[in-house]
Amino acid sequence: MNMQTTSRLTAAETALVEAFAAQIGEFPGDGAVIGTRDRLLDDLKKAGLPTRRIESWHYTDLKSLLRQVPDAAPVAAVDPVAALVDGSKIFSILQGFADPKASADGVEVTVFKNKLTDGSAAAELTAFGNDDAIGRINGSFVRDGFAISVPANTELEQALELQALHAGGQIHTRFPVSFGAASKATIIERHIAVTDGTALVSSISDIRLDDGAEVTWIIVQQQGAADTHLGQIRVKLGTQAKLRLFVVNAGGKLVRQELRIEVEGQGAELTLRGVNLLGGESHTDVTLMLGHNVPHTNSTEIIRNVVFDRANGVFQGMIRVAPDAQKTDAKMACNTLLLSDDGGFSVKPELEIFADDVICGHGATVADIDSNHLFYLMARGVPENKARAMLVNAFVAEIVEELEDEKLVEALEGIISSWLERHA
Amino acid sequence: MLEIKNLHARIAEDGTEIIRGLNLTVKAGEIAAIMGPNGSGKSTLSYILSGREDYEVTEGDIFYNGESILELDPAERASKGIFLAFQYPVEIPGVATMQFLKVAMNEQRKARGEAELTTPDFIRRVKEAADKLKIDQAMLRRPLNVGFSGGEKKRAEILQMALLEPQLCVLDETDSGLDIDALKIVADGVNALKSPDRAVVVITHYQRLLDYIVPDSVHVLYKGQIIRSGDKSLALELEENGYADIIGEAA
């Protein structure tokens, strides 16, 4: 089913192959890493970028959507920006290169480049078959990132901010982060374009929560209007682990955020929230592949989308419940505010349930602004454009406010309202 | 203050005529009650006064302070001082009540060329008005109308009215769903706003509310027309005999 043959490479595929050839000798890595890179690139070359015939890419035909790949080199210099939440510890990644001096109390940190050089990263450079173009691209090209480990029983007072900034070019980063048993932390992963130079970004975060760890992981994607962002979040949840994963897409021309989550310990809990702000001619795809693999685990997923202009969005939510994963409780919802006749949003919820004693549900809505709400605000003297903006904001604010951390809520609402001011 | 002349209006979507040649004059300082059986067009009238797009005026006019308001949208009418207390106030998750109040007050002030309120001034005004209506501060920290009981929603409407200080208040079945204590609080709130340069139109089904908000005039609406006008004794007559007699006379 997931096979395709490619006789000829597209311009983008050719550019990737050439970029790889041009950088051989510069890529960090020992023999094992180099061998893995070669193999992943070879797989990519053979299979090509995925088309709509690959089921998980059906709504995002990467082969036709990714027309060009920019040169690897950046267009301008980049400096760090202020933290999203005051007081966070910033781990800076400029143009794909991690700051070797970055550190935080109570946390073990290595720049990922060192793990490539000494070969300890070789086993992590994997791809999940032909579905996984992101794993292949990132595994072939990755240069740097941060490997972070929060020891058991450690509670981080301040958030860690992974701040990835670029000024165009190619950026391939990786963030293996593990949280020891009963640790607590908040991580903010930001991807920001500081110029309008075109970029191709691939980034994989490999997150492991040991037993009883409680983590809030926020992803804020603010790429430029010409950029391609290929993100992948790999998660493993241990017994009684709790992960709150919050994804905000507020930028990019072609965006795919893959969330590959395995719930592997009893009593584990996943709370996934997503806000997709789509405008211009962009295409944004959030694809969730969630496995409830053991009994007694919970998850809730709520995705809120706002579509302007000629933008297109996709949410695919696949929940697999393994045969012995009894008492799974999973609820998924995807709500879209479609504010343009030329925009679109495709939703594909999928439940694959092999256990017989579970509660699983999903729902999707697509609507315009509620005319009763609009009339109510206007009847109080709020002009139409302002009333509309308030209602769009409210639609997404509702899930942002669940975060409870006031500073974080305020920061995210700031990003959302400034995006809406620019697009509404 | 309000003059409705030979008003004809229909539902925009399907063309059903609801208001069929309605005439009504309400003077400054007056409290006018509009009563009528179900389906006579009472709520439609309140929506048309506040400018809801779902209705089309096909004939006649509405003058407010001598000016036709038909071309104004709901926000413009509100800024000119027309206020509708909704029969069913809508819940809007994600919009904080305080933020909404502040935006509404300041947008109206802006439209009238007045300076925006400072935050302390705004908070003081809300607190004073809320205390009078026995509205708990905790309620004001919730999203707009979300999880409010029927009575709380109606009190919240009157709170908005008190803060926005309109000239023409239209109360659409504000008594529905209220117990007697809540009804008194709401009526006190309305009576407190009574002034020589403000008019109130009370739309109601029952005489009960009019024991607390005493009208200067009572008008019976039936099939989209005012078929009879009188003073407050008309409301008592309706309470005793029902609408049948008057409808019979008009037919």
Separation of CA A112 from chain center: 19
ipTM, interface predicted TM-score of the complex: 0.95
Show pLDDT as tens, one digit a residue, over chain A (424 residues): 455 555 589 999 999 999 999 999 899 999 999 999 999 999 999 999 999 999 999 999 999 999 999 988 777 788 999 999 999 999 999 999 999 999 999 999 999 999 999 999 999 999 998 899 999 999 999 999 999 999 999 999 999 999 999 999 999 999 999 999 999 999 999 999 999 899 999 999 999 999 999 999 999 999 999 999 999 999 999 999 999 999 999 999 999 999 999 999 999 999 999 999 999 999 999 999 999 999 999 999 999 999 999 999 999 999 999 999 999 999 999 999 999 999 999 999 999 999 999 999 999 999 999 999 999 999 999 999 899 999 999 999 999 999 989 999 999 999 999 999 888 7
A 10 A CB-CB count for A240 gives 20
Identify the residue whose tokens are 């509309």. Answer: A388
The Cα B63–Cα B69 span in angstroms is 6
- Give the whole-number percent of chain B exceeding pLDDT 70: 99
pLDDT reported for residue A4: 55
Whether A354 and chain B come into contact, CB under 8 Å, resolves to: no
pLDDT reported for residue B176: 84
CA distance A390 to chain B (A): 7
Domain end point (choices A193, A215, A237)? A215
The Cα A278–Cα A250 span in angstroms is 7
A385: nearest CA in chain B?
Answer: B75
The Cα A263–Cα A292 span in angstroms is 5
Q: Does some domain include residue A359?
A: no
Interface of A with B in 382-421 (CB under 8 A): 382-384, 386-387, 390-391, 393-398, 401
pLDDT reported for residue B38: 87
Whether B98 and chain A come into contact, CB under 8 Å, resolves to: no
If one counts the domains in chain A, the total is 2
Strand order in the sheet with A199-209: A108-111, A144-150, A169-179, A199-209, A228-237, A254-263, A283-292, A312-321, A344-353
Q: Say which of B53, B143, B160 has its CB closest to residue A380.
A: B160
Q: Does some domain include residue A64?
A: yes
Whether A369 and chain B come into contact, CB under 8 Å, resolves to: no
pLDDT reported for residue A1: 46
Inter-chain touch A381–B107, beta carbons under 8 Å: yes
Inter-chain touch B75–A373, beta carbons under 8 Å: no
Cβ atoms of residues A257 and A228 within 8 Å: no
Inter-chain touch A390–B54, beta carbons under 8 Å: no
pLDDT reported for residue B16: 94
Whether B104 and chain A come into contact, CB under 8 Å, resolves to: yes
What average pLDDT does the segment B159-187 reach? 91
Q: Does some domain include residue A232?
A: no
The Cα A298–Cα A89 span in angstroms is 31
Give this prediction's pTM.
0.86
Q: Which residues pair with A363 in a beta bridge?
A: A333
What is the phi/psi pair of residue B19, to 5°?
Answer: -100, 125
Whether B3 and chain A come into contact, CB under 8 Å, resolves to: no
B160: nearest CA in chain A?
Answer: A380
Q: Say which of B86, B89, B94 has its CB closest to residue A394.
A: B94
Identify the residue whose tokens are 């789509």. Answer: A278
Pick from A375, A384, A403 the residue to mutate for testing the B interface (most B CBs within 10 Å): A375
Whether B249 shows a pLDDT value over 80: the answer reads no
pLDDT reported for residue A2: 54
- Collapsing DSSP states into helix, strand and coil, what is residue B45? helix
pLDDT reported for residue B248: 81
Q: Say which of B52, B103, B111 has its CB closest to residue A390.
A: B103
What is the count of residue pairs from A and B with beta carbons less than 8 Å apart?
76
Pick from B92, B97, B158 the residue to mutate for testing the A interface (most A CBs within 10 Å): B92
pLDDT reported for residue A421: 85
Domain end point (choices A215, A242, A262)? A215
B91: nearest CA in chain A?
Answer: A373
Q: Which two tokens stand for residue A370?
A: 């509620």
Inter-chain touch B94–A373, beta carbons under 8 Å: no
Domain containing A163 equals 1-215
Cβ atoms of residues A212 and A182 within 8 Å: yes
CATH of the domain at B171: 3.40.50.300
pLDDT band at B247 (very low <50, low <70, confident <90, very high): confident
Domain end point (choices A183, A215, A247)? A215
Domain containing B84 equals 2-250
Identify the residue whose tokens are 């009339």. Answer: A375
A402: nearest CA in chain B?
Answer: B94
Whether B244 and chain A come into contact, CB under 8 Å, resolves to: no
pLDDT digits (tens, 9 = 90+) for B3-35: 999 999 999 999 999 999 999 999 999 999 999
Q: Does some domain include residue A415?
A: yes
If one counts the domains in chain B, the total is 1
Q: Does some domain include residue A136?
A: yes
Q: Does some domain include residue A342?
A: no
Whether A367 and chain B come into contact, CB under 8 Å, resolves to: no
Summarize chain B as % helix, strand, coil (round to 5). Answer: 40, 30, 35
A 10 A CB-CB count for B215 gives 23
Inter-chain touch A380–B90, beta carbons under 8 Å: no
Distance from the first to the final alpha carbon of chain B: 30
Residues 6+ away with beta carbon under 8 Å from A125: A33, A36, A37, A40, A139, A142
Residues 6+ away with beta carbon under 8 Å from A346: A59, A312, A313, A314, A315
Q: Does some domain include residue A266?
A: no
CA Rg value for chain A: 21
Residues 6+ away with beta carbon under 8 Å from A31: A119
Q: Does some domain include residue A140?
A: yes
Whether A371 and chain B come into contact, CB under 8 Å, resolves to: yes
Whether B87 and chain A come into contact, CB under 8 Å, resolves to: no
